[in-house]
Amino acid sequence: MSDRFRREPPREPVIGEEYPPVIGGYEPDEPVIGLEEDDREAWGDGGSYPDEYEEEAYEPEWEYGLPEPEPSEARQPLLYVFLALVLGFAAVLAYLVLDSLRGNSPGEPSAALRIDRPLNEDRVTVGTDAEVAVRAAADEPITRFELYVNGKLVDSQDAGTPQNGVYSATLRYRLESPGVYELVVRAVLQSGAVRESDRIRVVGVETVGERPVTIEGEVIAATTVRAGPGDSYPSLRTLEAGSRIRVTARTTDNAWLLLEGGGWVRRSAIRLLDSIEFLPRRDPTPTPVPTQTPTPEASPSPSPTPGRDRPDLTPVNASLGNGGTTLTITVANLSPNVFEGPLEVEVAGIPGGTRSRVFQVRIAENGNTTIVFELEAPITGNATVRVTVDPSNAIPELSEDNNSASFSLAPPTPAPSLSIVDVQVEGNQVRVRVRNDGGPLPATSVTVRVTANTSDESQQVSRSIALASGQETEFTVARPSASGQATVEVLIGSTVVASRTITLP
């Protein structure tokens, strides 16, 4: 019941007191100031409200902005069950989507394929046969492998029998023009299902022609250089990690690399700085059997060492000398067998064209020797020459693949040339000025000597000097006691390189 008409603050209920309490806190017959008689009758004796003031029980309603009432605890388990069902359905749906992206529907067989060769981004020479090596494993038999190049089937092969559960196959293809090609291998399973390998790209390149082909490499692990492409060949030397090398050829299986200057190393120990596809393939070939045909006049006779005791000759260095008129060539014997006899050496890229000479040499096992090749005209600028030893293969060797090498030549450096440019006699001293009119003179002991011609008395001084071209220096020598003519000499070691006649006052 509403109390909005109360004139006094409500009193608290008291035990034993009549209830409801008297409105206003007065007795029924007690006069109230300001209360008319009609009003008193309206209130009644019991102090109860008239009927028109009766109100219904107040039910509070939720208003916007106030916290919502908490849900009933009886409803929360149902909410958890609903969320669990939604999450389970989402997980199943995600699994089905991912499995379809992998190409395997639920219950279908699976297979794993891997292309071992070529590697991604390898370069392949156009117009030549190339190979793709693939391995695979599956939970049901594989019946066939198929090779696709840019989506076109180019080769197929029966899978055969797996070894230890792994199938292997070699498929072949040929690129007809330069460009980028995509390779993929498909495995056909016994059930008819098809599985694909990862796709790799190869680059078709034109043949490099006749120009010398060498690419640089870096040794990534200490490795042994051998006389041939295999561990059964003799060991020649060891390359340390970090060494830089130049490679001129490779074996067909790309397992071994031929070094410039001779010797083979495993590819796994070398990091090539360019594509291996640039290198020509060279596998060991059987040594040709000498025939009874007459030997050309300029060709040497075969080495007298018979059977397996054969040398392995290769050029390892070439440099210009004598003002560019001679070529000094170093030839190494990479074999544990001595070679002695005539050796033909051919040089291409020199003035006058390709020329050959025959030299009588003796090269110890794993040793080397130098020969001087006379040129018809001097080489005065930068040049590249190709040196070939035993070009007609008249000498049976352990390896016939390393008889040629290319070398870059720089113009020969002029020799130093000392001259006397001035001599001054001052009291008891002779001052001699020396100039270098030739190439650079490294630190060298130089002597200046003054000899009196009338008495053979001489005085000299020595010191180590280094002079660039055109540079001068001065020597001070004690004066001989005699007068008259004297000779001033400049010596390097015991050789007189400059002299002048003076007069001693």
Average confidence (pLDDT) per 10 residues, the chain, 505 residues: 50 54 51 52 50 51 52 61 81 64 55 85 83 88 93 91 88 88 92 89 68 75 86 87 87 85 86 77 56 48 52 88 86 88 89 86 89 87 89 84 87 83 92 92 92 88 92 93 92 92 90
- In CATH, what number does 418-504 get? 2.60.40.10
CA distance 405 to 428: 62
Which amino acid is it at 205? V
Q: How far apart are the first and last CA of the chain?
A: 154
pLDDT at residue number 299: 46
| 79 φ/ψ angles, rounded to the nearest 5 degrees | -65, -45
Sequence-separated (6 or more) residues with CB below 8 Å from residue 409: 318, 319, 320, 327, 379, 382, 383, 384, 385
CATH superfamily of 313-409: Immunoglobulins (2.60.40.10)
pLDDT at residue number 463: 92
pLDDT at residue number 290: 45
pTM of the shown model: 0.31
Measure Cα distances from 85 to 75, 81, 90 in Å. Answer: 16, 6, 9
**Cβ(142)–Cβ(111) below 8 Å:** yes
- In CATH, what number does 215-278 get? 2.30.30.40
pLDDT at residue number 389: 92
Q: Summarize the chain as % helix, strand, coil (round to 5).
A: 10, 45, 45
- Which letter does DSSP use for residue 163 in this model? B
Q: Please, which contacts does 46-49 make with residues 24 or more away whose CB atoms are closer than 8 Å? A: 46/20, 47/20, 47/21, 47/22, 47/23, 48/20, 49/1, 49/2, 49/5
pLDDT at residue number 84: 81
Place of tokens 């017959």: 29
- Which letter does DSSP use for residue 281 in this model? B
**Cβ(39)–Cβ(23) below 8 Å:** no
pLDDT at residue number 99: 54
Secondary element (H or E) of residue 246: strand 244-250
- In CATH, what number does 111-205 get? 2.60.40.10
Which amino acid is it at 481? S
pLDDT at residue number 73: 52
pLDDT at residue number 392: 79
Place of tokens 């030893």: 389
pLDDT at residue number 291: 44
Residue ranges of the chain assigned to CATH 2.30.30.40: 215-278
Residue ranges of the chain assigned to CATH 2.60.40.10: 111-205, 313-409, 418-504
